[in-house]
Structure 1
Amino acid sequence: SLTKIDKWFLNKMKNIIEYYNVLEEAGSSMTAQQLLQAKRIGFSDKQIGSAAKITELAVRTLRKEMGILPFVKQIDTVAGEWPAATNYLYLTYNANENDIDFPGGYTIVVGSGVYRIGSSVEFDWCAVGCLRELRNLGKPTIMINYNPETVSTDYDMCDRLYFEEISFEVVMDIYELEHSEGIILSMGGQLPNNIAMDLHRQQA
């Protein structure tokens, strides 16, 4: 009654805070079930690391050792009327199988994410130009971006489109799942550049 915020939202916030406390208590000795539950709730590796007082990379290593990996699902653009066959994809831990196969050989182009000052439509056009040139060279492409108001997120611009945040964790997960040939970061502006060295250290 004090905040006028609906109790549904307050309960969701309470769940997040309570599980953050669980991760703080567990620290680096957290169990596989605790880590999986954290990922299913929506915690990033960086957030889990912050709670457990370990690095993001340590969480990633622990997660992979425990076999906790995201699944790739297709966005249903036809409201379940018939099986979806789109190239709109996303990562989730709330699944049991992938919707697609991973033949490898794709080149990843990372977009600019949300529009902001200094990172706007010009970077979207750079990404589109890059995708088109790769297609002209006969190379299959993957686009990672999460702004639906861009040309680079049109369904026919690339072979696979991941609507995902641009972070080290997400880009690295997609790179490893897809057995990609490489990642092009220079078309997306500041966000991709921020994770360039982290990806380089992992030999991506």
Structure 2
Amino acid sequence: CIHNGTDKCYLTSQNHGYAIDITSLPQDWEILFTNANDKTNEGIIHTSLPYFSVQFHPEHTAGPEDLENLFDVFIDSIKKRIFNIRELLNLTLSSEKVITRDNPKKVLLIGSGGLSIGQAGEFDYSGSQAIKALREESIQTVLINPNIATVQTSKGLADKVYFLPLTPEYVEEVIKAERPDGVLLTFGGQTGLNCGVELERHGIFDKYNVRILGTPIQAIIDTEDRKIFRERVNAINEKVAPSIAAFSVEEALEAAEKLGYPVMARAAFSLGGLGSGFAKTNDELKTLAAQALAHSNQLIIDKSLKGWK
């Protein structure tokens, strides 16, 4: 929305299916906000009385916070008995701090890796959209993805594509050669996340002064590590199924004995949930745990909620 007094543009939450016809406004009412997209009216203000209204959601719940200060204007006008509310609005919106963005010039995107037909296509799609969004901001894009059968590796999408394995060693070589300002780790699925975590643990991003964009690396670690995630959930007293972390088949069996069968086994940092499943007996869990620990070094044994209502 564009404010009629300062000509500043603000992000606002809108869900209306109608708009006021500005040609029908009485003489003592004026335009306050205008939709920058379709030029419809988004707010009106009285010329002499302290009345104004907007056609969006300034309360910003689950949305943009740009104009939450409209509530401050409203409260101040009541407390101080201010009738010239347009002047107060102009003063409030004019005195806002201008936020400047330090946009990166070049960004490395960790791609979706080797996928089978019909598997995890959402990562290919989201990665493609990320590249398009970066290009719209005039940011140079570098993609590393060994899979030629993806949309994101299509000619003309990324500025440069490296068809290399998504391993820390190869990604470091690309970083060394390209020197990107930032890196996106969350558009390559589990492969990209695991690779990013390993690079962070080895200090590669700090070594080459590469900024992690989007989801913070610690948030990725906390959610991918099943034990840490369980601790975080318990810390906020959220009710979840009881679970125990295991790092061997023997520990998995001990956890199941404590929790009671049936149980659900979930492997951490695994592609497509490899090795995860339900077990009703020791023998079933032995097989499941052996498969899971072949792909991951950590297994979470959960009390099964299958069939609960």
Give the TM interval when normalised to the shorter protein: 0.3 to 0.5
State which structure, 1 or 2, has the greater radius of gyration over its C-alpha atoms: 2
More strand by share: 2
Q: Which of 1 and 2 has higher RCO (CA within 8 Å, sep 6+)?
A: 1
More helix by share: 1
- TM-score under structure 2 normalisation? 0.31
